[in-house]
């Protein structure tokens, strides 16, 4: 006899089919004898069941009214589409995450919902659909099962980005389970994709000299000198005001961040609230910038604190102001985070330097500091990391390159301070 169609199998002297529904494997006995004709019919029935599940139209009780699953299963989840679930979850999530994070979550969910079918009932989303979604995000193909939209094909996303998208979508599905919309999550058994470690790509000293020489104006030159000399996040530089700078001891107290346009928050993490000791290049950059913005009129801004609904009022004379660099002087009081990347890219191009992301300014500070022999704990504090572990993990290569100088330091220290070696006892005494 021929092979059984997919999902069809013998059970005693009759046939039964199996299929995945609500993240679980179900088997239904058809009560028909095992013949070639019945096998073909069972395969067709199973295919129609799977299609109905994918489309979100499957009714278990209608399809198998005498099933023991119907008679003994737990209460069914509530009917809700992916779009409806997303609206509920994101609305409730808004009370515990920042506006910037909420915007990112919304974008991730929108993309996943589009690819998997935003109007589908969540109970129809299977383990197989999540694997298909992951592949679509990686490859950029816009077709997901029977769902296809008239959009241009998009280049596939990186493994890191795909893991972030799926992590967000998984959290929403776990919310559905906790609320009783689903019996189990279709993400059960799916692990994040493995990805290769991305090495920092800092500017060399020679490249940075060329970069600074090609900046379009003094303010942009001061901005990037300070960025590379302190390792500050770009949002922190956008939000930096003269009120945050101690010009007697030459330190910067980081109090604010600007993660998205016109929305000030505290620094990214609690450890990000810190005091940065300035190097001579950073001090010189700020002295130069004083000529342009030090005496500017302070403006009041709202700083949205971590506690939901709480806002702090800050008076800020911003250190870097777009209106100082614009041709007609009509720029804003502060830079938007994304605008830094534009000045970085254009300056790299003028200097003939290989392209890197603007965030490499932060990596450049860390790598240069480690190569100079700075203490990793000090570097972590300057950069706003919780501990030095991040420094060891990300910048280990630059620490290893500095081993030879460390040996020289040990040799010099141990030679000067080593105690005299004990002599053997003369047996004649």
Closest CA to 281 of 368, 175, 398: 368
Kindly provide the b/e burial profile for residues 154-190, where b requires at least 16 CB atoms within 10 angstroms of the residue's own CB. Answer: eeebebeebbbbbebbbbbbebbbeeebbbebbbeee
Terminal CA-CA length for the chain: 102
Task: Note if 362 is an active site residue.
Answer: yes
Catalytic choice (256, 263, 274, 385): 385
- Identify any residues that bridge with 290 across adjacent strands, giving them in sequence order: none
Token pair recorded at residue 273: 């609230």
Query: Is residue 268 flagged as an active site residue?
Result: yes
**Read out DSSP for 138-172?**
HH----BTTB--S----PPPPHHHHHHHHHHHHHH
Whether the CB-CB separation of 237 and 223 falls below 8 Å is answered with yes
Inter-CA distances, 238 with 186, 282, 339, Å: 42, 16, 10
Name the catalytic one among 46, 321, 362, 363. Answer: 362
Which structure tokens are listed for 247?
A: 């010009």
Catalytic residue among 39, 170, 233, 256: 233
Consecutive H or E run containing 82:
helix 82-93
385 is catalytic: yes
Q: Which of 88, 93, 147, 268 is catalytic?
A: 268
> How far is Cα 117 from Cα 342, in angstroms, rounded to an integer?
36
Q: Which active-site residues does the annotation give?
A: 233, 268, 362, 385, 395
């Amino acid at each position: 006899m021929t092979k059984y169609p997919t999902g069809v199998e013998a059970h005693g002297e009759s046939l039964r089919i199996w299929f995945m529904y609500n993240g679980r494997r179900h088997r239904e006995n058809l009560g028909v004898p095992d013949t070639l004709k019945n096998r073909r019919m069972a395969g067709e029935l199973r295919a129609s069941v799977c299609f109905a599940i994918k489309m979100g139209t499957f009714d278990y009780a209608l399809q198998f009214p005498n099933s023991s699953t119907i008679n003994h299963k737990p209460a069914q989840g509530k009917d809700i589409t992916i779009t409806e679930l997303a609206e509920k979850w994101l609305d409730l999530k808004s009370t515990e995450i920042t506006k910037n994070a909420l915007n990112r979550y919304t974008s991730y969910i929108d993309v996943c919902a589009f690819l998997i079918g935003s109007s589908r009932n969540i109970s129809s989303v299977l383990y197989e659909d999540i694997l298909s979604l992951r592949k679509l995000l990686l490859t950029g193909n816009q077709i997901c099962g029977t769902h296809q939209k008239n959009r241009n094909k998009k280049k596939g996303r990186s493994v890191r980005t795909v893991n972030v998208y799926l992590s967000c979508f998984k959290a929403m599905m776990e919310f559905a389970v906790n609320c009783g919309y689903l019996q189990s999550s279709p993400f059960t058994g799916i692990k994040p994709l493995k990805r290769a470690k991305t090495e920092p790509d800092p500017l060399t000293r020679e490249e940075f000299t060329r970069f600074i020489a090609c900046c379009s104006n003094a303010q942009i030159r001061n901005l990037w000198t300070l960025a590379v000399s302190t390792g500050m996040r770009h949002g922190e530089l956008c939000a930096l005001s003269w009120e945050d700078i101690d010009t007697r001891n030459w330190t910067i107290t980081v109090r604010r961040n600007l993660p998205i346009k016109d929305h000030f928050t505290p620094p990214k993490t609690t450890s990000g609230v810190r005091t940065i000791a300035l190097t001579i290049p950073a001090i010189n950059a700020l002295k130069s910038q004083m000529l342009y913005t030090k005496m500017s009129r302070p403006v009041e801004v709202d700083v949205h604190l971590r506690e939901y609904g709480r806002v702090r009022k800050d008076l800020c004379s911003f250190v870097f102001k777009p209106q100082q660099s614009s041709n007609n002087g009509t720029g804003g009081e502060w830079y938007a985070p994304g605008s830094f990347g534009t000045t970085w890219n254009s300056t790299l191009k003028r200097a003939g330097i290989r392209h890197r992301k603007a965030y490499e300014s932060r990596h450049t500070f860390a790598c240069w500091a480690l190569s100079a022999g700075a203490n990793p704990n000090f570097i972590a504090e300057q950069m706003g990391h919780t501990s030095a572990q991040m420094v060891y993990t990300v910048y280990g290569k630059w620490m290893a390159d500095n081993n030879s100088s460390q040996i020289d330091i040990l040799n010099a220290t141990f030679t000067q301070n080593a105690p005299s070696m004990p002599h053997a006892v003369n047996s004649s005494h």
